[in-house]
Amino acid sequence: MNKKLKIAIVSKLWEETSPHSRGGTGSSIGFLVNGLVERGHQITLFASGNSKTKAQKLISVKSEHYQGDYSEVHEYNNIAQAFKRADNFDIIHCAVEHKSLIFAELVKTPSLHSVRYGEFFKQEKDLFKEYRNLNYVGISKSLKRILPFINWRDFIYNGIDYQDFKQSKKGGDYLLFLARVSPQKGIDIAIKVAKKLKMKLIIAGKISLTDKAFLEKEFYPYVDGKQIIYLGEVLGEKKKKLLSQAYCLIQPNRVVEAFGNSILEAMASATPVVVYNQGAFKELIINGKNGYVVDSFEDLVKAVKNIKNINKEDCLQRVKDFFSLEKMVSSYESLYYKIIKESKNKKLR
């Protein structure tokens, strides 16, 4: 029987780390921490002070997650806190993309670096190349196309607690957009689909001041509170109700998506999804089975019309079969043991 591990997990400061966080990384890492603790492991979480998990210890350099402010000083200090305690851990798992790489070779404790994002600048890719031999894990196989040269140890999909979501046997009458309201997420495209099909569109997501010019032209003029409705950022039970009663989730992203937690949440609510073919979406969605992955606006419109052909039960079953919490936690646990064993064998040579 494998021994119980002492694990440091470094999470992002963009959102609080909690199973029901507003952000994908915060939520997935929150679920992972809880799952590992339930299996008897000792977890020290390095995250924002308002994080809520079952970790035995929370170490924070910032009392709350970023809310309009941002400083890489905090991010790097957060990572440094884990590595300067490296001797206390069997492994350090960092979910902060490339930012943790420069610390890894300064300590003897093995580390694992999660890639949870789909777009990188040249300087960031150069850093990955310099540290290509570290241990990497991706949240979808699509990331291998973006960073083919690094030492991928595994690809582990995010998991979700599907029992925590509501399901409705009858689909609703509105399209749901559940993402940051931005050009990257394609909110203007979703509005055009709703207008063309004369359907109601409910929009739930945060807004950034950096998108002000775009929003004033492509978003605000169309929000009328009747056909195009904006609710702001929606969390908790209200979000679950919106998901379960939607006709479908529409997410016409313009940028590469490394995963897409909102897609899992929709499927866990037995709600089909319609997306553009970006990044990992073809790994999450079986075309015509639990939603549609399309390449053009015309096909997007056609897919929404064809949602009636999707069996809602197939959406939920897809999550049960491939994206359960149990599967995610077991996969990370196995990878930790493998990396720790390799590290010990290397030291013995």
> Three-state secondary structure along 176-223?
EEECCCCCCCCHHHHHHHHHHHCCEEEEECCCCHHHHHHHHHHCHHHC
What CATH number did the domain enclosing 174 receive?
3.40.50.2000
- Are 215 and 76 in a shared domain? no
Q: How many domains does the chain have?
A: 2
Residue 1 lies in a domain: no
Residue 197 lies in a domain: yes
- Are 139 and 32 in a shared domain? yes
User: Is 201 a residue whose pLDDT tops 70?
Assistant: yes
- Are 250 and 120 in a shared domain? no
- Are 155 and 89 in a shared domain? yes
Pick from 239, 234, 295, 229: nearest CA to 264: 239
In the prediction, which pLDDT does 169 show?
82
Residue 233 lies in a domain: yes
Q: How do strand 42-46 and strand 91-94 relate by DSSP bridges?
A: unpaired
- Are 227 and 166 in a shared domain? yes
What does the radius of gyration of the chain's CA atoms come to, in whole angstroms? 21
CB hemisphere CA count around 162 (13 angstroms): 25
Q: How do strand 42-46 and strand 6-10 relate by DSSP bridges?
A: parallel
- Are 309 and 340 in a shared domain? no
Q: Which residue has the higher pLDDT, 25 or 153?
A: 153
Q: Which residues contact 86 (CB under 8 A, 6 or more apart)?
A: 8, 92, 107, 108, 109
Q: What phi and psi values does residue 218 have, to the nearest 5 degrees?
A: -105, -5
- Are 143 and 240 in a shared domain? no
- Are 13 and 31 in a shared domain? yes
What one-character DSSP code corresponds to residue 7? Answer: E
User: Is 168 a residue whose pLDDT tops 70?
Assistant: yes
- Are 200 and 314 in a shared domain? yes
Q: Note the pTM of the prediction, 2 decimals.
A: 0.90
Residue 155 lies in a domain: yes
- Are 62 and 183 in a shared domain? no
- Both tokens of 304, joined, read 């929404």
Pick from 115, 58, 108: nearest CA to 84: 108
Pick from 179, 165, 159: nearest CA to 29: 159
Q: What is the mean pLDDT of residues 281-308?
A: 95
Q: Which domain holds residue 19?
A: 6-159+324-348
* Torsion region of 88: left, alpha or beta (phi above 0 gives left; psi -120 to 50 gives alpha): alpha
User: Is 70 a residue whose pLDDT tops 80?
Assistant: no
In the prediction, which pLDDT does 72 show?
86
How far apart, in Å, are the Cα atoms of 338 and each of 10, 56, 114, 239, 283?
Answer: 20, 24, 16, 38, 25
pLDDT band of residue 216 (cuts 50, 70, 90) is very high
User: Is 20 a residue whose pLDDT tops 90?
Assistant: no
Q: Which residue has the higher pLDDT, 133 or 233?
A: 133
Residue 250 lies in a domain: yes
3-state secondary structure of 66: coil
Residue 32 lies in a domain: yes
- Are 264 and 238 in a shared domain? yes
- Are 136 and 166 in a shared domain? no
